[in-house]
Amino acid sequence: MIRHILFWKLQEEYREGEKRREAEARLAASVETLAPIPGLHNAKIGPNLAGGEYDLVFYADLDDRNALAAFRDHPLHVAHRERCASLVTGRLAGDLEV
């Protein structure tokens, strides 16, 4: 199994208060649309409890490297990335075999 992990930094206008809560809710709703992607076992996004430069942590568990490659180009994932683009300004990604 592959764990796909992202750290996201919100656009400055979404980093505090009600705007942050709205952005987090929009991102969480968008992540839920990923569920039908073949090979994806779960996906979750939430606040980065460690703090620091990145505001949010996302992770997804996928069957294997082939499922990860298919996930990246799947139309549901492409649509998710497009919905999120206006909310985030930076990201750090990593994949781990578990």
User: Left (φ > 0), alpha (ψ -120 to 50) or beta: where does 9 sit?
Assistant: beta
Q: Domain with 8 in it: what CATH number?
A: 3.30.70.100
pLDDT in 10s for each residue of the chain, 98 residues = 999 999 999 999 999 999 999 999 999 999 999 999 999 999 999 999 998 999 999 999 999 999 999 999 999 999 999 999 999 998 999 999 99
Six-digit token pair at 67?
């499922």
How many whole angstroms separate alpha carbon 86 and alpha carbon 26?
Answer: 11
| pLDDT given at position 92 | 96
| pLDDT given at position 79 | 98
Domain count, the chain: 1
| pLDDT given at position 11 | 96
Domain that holds residue 24: 2-97
Instruction: Output the pTM of the full model.
Output: 0.90
